[in-house]
C-alpha cells in the first residue's frame, strides 16, 4: 500500500510561511506592502519586543469588503492578478496571494477593515494558527488595521532562530527606513515600544524624508536625480563626495519601488563617481528605477527579494548616466572620460543575471529619532 498523502491546509501554509516569513521584519514588509497596494497615504507601524510579541499596522487605504475578509487569509487568494499572463506585468508589490495565509498560520492575527465608500460598518476577523476564532461586523474607521501577535508560537524551530529583541527591531527599522525613502508621498510612522523611531510627513519631497532619517548634514549634502534613459526613469538623490562613507550601507537601489541589492547597480555608481572619491569611500545614493514591469521579473523568490532584469546592461547605463549627469550639472565633474564610456559600452554586452535583495544590514541602521 502506498504511503504518500496530500498535506492538510495548515501544514501547507506553515511550509509556505517558512519561505515568506523569516522574521518579524518579513511580517512588517508584507503588511506594509499590502497597505501600499491599497493606496494608503498614511501608514502607522507599532511594534513591541522586536515585533515578536506584537506588530500593529494601520493604513488609510481602500479597505477590504466584509465578504473578502475571510478569503483574504486563504492561500493563493489575491485581488491583484487574475491569470498567469498577469505575471508578465506586475504593477503591485504583492501578487502571490500567500502573505496573509502564511502569517495567520504561524501567529494570532486580528484584522479590522472598512471600505472607503462603505455605507455599512466595518468588519473584523480573528485567526490563530490558521483557524478563524471570531468574525463579524465591527465599528472602525475606513482603512485597515492588522495586529499580529506571538509570531512563530506554533513553529518552535523558527522561533529558536530569532535574534534578541533589539536586533529584530533593527531589521524592522532598516526596512521601514528604506520604505520611507522610496515613498516620500506616504506619511510613515514607526513606534517601537512607545517610542517614535521614525516619522515622515508624506509631503512627497524626498529631501524632507532624507532629513527625517539622516539629519541635516546628509540632507544638505545631496543633489536630486531625475533622469530618463530610454524607457527607464531614474529618480532619487546622490550625495556629494563630502558625505561619502566607508561602507555601502548608504547606497540604496529600488526597482519600481522594490528594494534590491545588486552588484550591477553599485558598480554603475562606482564608475560614475570614479576619480571623485578616495579609495575605500562610497557615495551616498537613494535611487529608484522606474521601468516597464514586463522588463523585470519579480516572481523569482517567494519573499519577492530578488528580481531579474531583461536588459541588465541598459540598467547599468541608466544608473551610470543618471548619476554622471547630476554630478556634471552641479559642476562636480567635467565631461566623462573616454575610457569610462568604453566600460559602459562593454557592460551592455553582459547577459541577464539574478539580482538579490538582502533585507537587512545586521540590525545596524543610520536612522534618526525625531
Ligand X SMILES: Nc1ncnc2c1ncn2[C@@H]1O[C@H](COP(=O)(O)OP(=O)(O)OP(=O)(O)O)[C@@H](O)[C@H]1O
**Footprint of ligand X (CB under 6 A):** 30, 34-35, 38, 59, 61-64, 72, 77-80, 94-101, 144
Q: Taking a C-beta distance cutoff of 8 angstroms, is the pair 124, 140 a contact? A: yes
Residue of the chain from 69, 99, 285, 319 that contacts Mg ion (CB under 5 A): 99
Say whether residue 183 binds Mg ion (CB under 5 A): no
| Nearest CB to ligand X, comparing residues 49 and 58 | 58
Residue of the chain from 34, 209, 269, 271 that contacts Mg ion (CB under 5 A): 34
Residue reference for cell 523611531: 197
Q: Which residue is nearest to ligand X (CB)?
A: 94
Closest CA to 40 of 20, 21, 57, 65: 57
Give the interface size with Mg ion as a residue count (CB under 5 A): 3
Binder of residue 239, out of ligand X, Mg ion, none (CB less than 5 to 8 A by kind): none
Q: Is the dihedral of CA 313, 314, 319, 322 positive or negative?
A: positive
CB of 78 to Mg ion, least distance (A): 8
Paired sense of beta strands 131-138 and 232-239, if any: unpaired
DSSP-derived secondary structure for 226-278: EEEETTEEEEEEEE-GGG-BSSGGGEEEEETTEEE--HHHHHHHHHHTTTTS-
| Nearest CB to Mg ion, comparing residues 146 and 260 | 146
Binder of residue 79, out of Mg ion, ligand X, none (CB less than 5 to 8 A by kind): ligand X
Piece of 33-41, 223-231, 236-244, 255-263 that binds Mg ion (CB under 5 A): 33-41
Paired sense of beta strands 187-192 and 195-199, if any: antiparallel
d(CA 120, CA 116): 11
CB of 118 to ligand X, least distance (A): 12
Say whether residue 94 binds Mg ion (CB under 5 A): yes
| Nearest CB to ligand X, comparing residues 86 and 223 | 86
CB of 179 to ligand X, least distance (A): 14
3-state secondary structure of 91: coil
Q: Give the three cell numbers for residue 200.
A: 515622515
CB of 239 to ligand X, least distance (A): 33
Distances (CA, A) of 349 to 11, 312, 344: 46, 9, 9
Binding mask 336-365 for Mg ion (x = CB under 5 A): ------------------------------
Closest CA to 252 of 288, 282, 280: 288
| Nearest CB to ligand X, comparing residues 90 and 268 | 90
CB of 14 to Mg ion, least distance (A): 18
CB of 238 to Mg ion, least distance (A): 31
Angle (nearest 5°) at CA 243 between 238 and 247: 90
d(CA 348, CA 82): 35
Say whether residue 102 binds Mg ion (CB under 5 A): no
Contact residues: Mg ion, CB under 5 A: 34, 94, 99
Amino acid at each position: 500500500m502506498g504511503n504518500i498523502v496530500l498535506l492538510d491546509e495548515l501544514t501547507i501554509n506553515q511550509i509556505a510561511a517558512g519561505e515568506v516569513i523569516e522574521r518579524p521584519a518579513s511580517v512588517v514588509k508584507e503588511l506594509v506592502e499590502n497597505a501600499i497596494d491599497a493606496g494608503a497615504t498614511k501608514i502607522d507601524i507599532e511594534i513591541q519586543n522586536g515585533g515578536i510579541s506584537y506588530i500593529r499596522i494601520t493604513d488609510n487605504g481602500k479597505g477590504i469588503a466584509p465578504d473578502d475578509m475571510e478569503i483574504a487569509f486563504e492561500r493563493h487568494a489575491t485581488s491583484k492578478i487574475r491569470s498567469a499572463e498577469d505575471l508578465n506585468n506586475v504593477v503591485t508589490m504583492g501578487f502571490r496571494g500567500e502573505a496573509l495565509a502564511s502569517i495567520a498560520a504561524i501567529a494570532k492575527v486580528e484584522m479590522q477593515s472598512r471600505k472607503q465608500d462603505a455605507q455599512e460598518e466595518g468588519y473584523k476577523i480573528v485567526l490563530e494558527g490558521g483557524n478563524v476564532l471570531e468574525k463579524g461586523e465591527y465599528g472602525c474607521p475606513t482603512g485597515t488595521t492588522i495586529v499580529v501577535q506571538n509570531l512563530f508560537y506554533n513553529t518552535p524551530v523558527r522561533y529558536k532562530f530569532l535574534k534578541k529583541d533589539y536586533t529584530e527591531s533593527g531589521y524592522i527599522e532598516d526596512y521601514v527606513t528604506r520604505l520611507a525613502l522610496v515613498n516620500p508621498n506616504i506619511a510613515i510612522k514607526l513606534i517601537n515600544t512607545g517610542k517614535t523611531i521614525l516619522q515622515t510627513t508624506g509631503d512627497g519631497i524626498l529631501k524632507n524624508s532624507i532629513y527625517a532619517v539622516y539629519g541635516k548634514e546628509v540632507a544638505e549634502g545631496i543633489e536630486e536625480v531625475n533622469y530618463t534613459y530610454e524607457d527607464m526613469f531614474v529618480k532619487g538623490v546622490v550625495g556629494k563626495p563630502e558625505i561619502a562613507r566607508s561602507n555601502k550601507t548608504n547606497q540604496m537601489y529600488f526597482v519600481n519601488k522594490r528594494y534590491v541589492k545588486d552588484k550591477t547597480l553599485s558598480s554603475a555608481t562606482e564608475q560614475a563617481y570614479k576619480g571623485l572619491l578616495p579609495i575605500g569611500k562610497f557615495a551616498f545614493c537613494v535611487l529608484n528605477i522606474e521601468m516597464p514591469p514586463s522588463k523585470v521579473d519579480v516572481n523569482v523568490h517567494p519573499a519577492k527579494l530578488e528580481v531579474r532584469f531583461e536588459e541588465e546592461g541598459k540598467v547599468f547605463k541608466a544608473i551610470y548616466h543618471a548619476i554622471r549627469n547630476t554630478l556634471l550639472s552641479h559642476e562636480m565633474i567635467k565631461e566623462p572620460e573616454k575610457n569610462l564610456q568604453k566600460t559602459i559600452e562593454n557592460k551592455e554586452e553582459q547577459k541577464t543575471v539574478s539580482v538579490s535583495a538582502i533585507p537587512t544590514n545586521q540590525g545596524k541602521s543610520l536612522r534618526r529619532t525625531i
